[in-house]
Amino acid sequence: MIEAVLFDLDGTLISFSASYADFMRKMAARWGITDATDPFFMEYSSAILASGTVTFQSSIEHALKATGRSVPKDVSTQCQESVAKYTEGIQLLPHALSLINRYSSLPTAIVSNGPFDMQLSALKKFGLHNLVNEVIISGDPEVGVRKPNSEIFRIACSRLGVDPSQTLMIGDNEVADVQGAKDAGLQAVLIGELVSAMFEKLSDEQRRALSRITPSHDRGLAYFPCCVELTDGTIHERVYIVSQLPYLNIWGVYPADDAGKTEVKLSDIARIHESPQRLPAAFATELYAAGESGMGYVIFSVTFSDGSKQTYASGNAVDFIQYPAGKSREDVVSVQAHDRSDMNYERAQPYAWCLYSE
């Protein structure tokens, strides 16, 4: 039984979008260090990965002194600026909020290796420290040990007041996170395994139903615009059924964590059909290829076989439209992206998302 959950930070909840080596080279250039083989970098790496009280500034000061350089009087300001620059490159991983929310009813903590000031700055950027009960950072003077040392896991469990054997550690490192936690008596799982299990797999019947629907495509994501009947008999005429990972690559956040989006669970779907309110796949794909008309929206027109035309305004998902009376997708002959010739446009109809795991 799981009564508490610990999360790793880097690679599990956040990532650094830039090159850390480039970040360090630019930072070191402030002190005239331009040779990538300079011992400064080895000394810095040794200090930043050490046990005990560790900050970015303490690591820089160690590296400067160890290589015979003086510490500038304004080193504190320079390091604060560097930490701020580093934090700018931190990104929240798409599954992070859903993962934390999944265990929100349990005591939780973030357990991270790293310099106290940099890790705390990264946490505060997204308010992650406010979403858990405790934050344990190896460089904190009150912690001073790094994963996979069992002591850091014991500190986390002690602060949460939970039994290690009933605590789950979630991380991306097989040694530091998983084996380290198990050696301390916790349960542990790699984040990749957990994320892949966050959504259900298609049943054979559901997979056959989707195979009869031609998807539209946007940068590697296949959209299946469906009409679904739920197990309780409810009909939803506009539901996108999409694969989880390609969806994240395009949208960057799960529907449950994206304001205004509605989600349908795969297990609640009894039957799947092609939606009568979808655009033909080729035309929707053409609109996706044309990109946005503005930030977060697309304006486009649809021309029908009788020569009439209707303009639509939609978010970034364009497959579902409200057809004029007496018309259907069989009557569509062309689409025009970014067509603002008639501003009397039809607003997009509400739709839902259903994600599945491959």
Give the domain ranges of the chain.
Answer: 4-14+90-196, 18-88, 199-358
pLDDT band at 30 (very low <50, low <70, confident <90, very high): confident
Which tens digit of pLDDT belongs to each residue from 136-156?
999 999 999 999 999 999 999
For the cut 80, the answer to whether the pLDDT of residue 249 exceeds it is: no
Which tens digit of pLDDT belongs to each residue from 273-318?
999 999 999 999 999 999 999 988 999 999 999 999 999 999 889 9
* Residues near 74 by beta carbon (within 8 Å), at least 6 away in sequence: none
* Residues near 270 by beta carbon (within 8 Å), at least 6 away in sequence: 228, 229, 230, 231
pLDDT of the residue at 358: 79
CATH number of 4-14+90-196: 3.40.50.1000
Which tens digit of pLDDT belongs to each residue from 94-107?
888 888 988 999 99
Average pLDDT over residues 337-345: 88
For the cut 90, the answer to whether the pLDDT of residue 255 exceeds it is: no
The C-alpha atoms of residue 202 and residue 267 are separated, in whole angstroms, by: 9
Residue 269 C-alpha from the chain's centroid: 26
Determine contact, residues 181/1, Cβ cutoff 8 Å.
no
Which tens digit of pLDDT belongs to each residue from 57-75?
999 999 999 999 999 999 9
Is the model's pTM score more than 0.85?
no
Average pLDDT over residues 197-211: 90
Helix axes 20-28, 39-48, angle to 10 degrees: 120
The C-alpha atoms of residue 164 and residue 238 are separated, in whole angstroms, by: 46
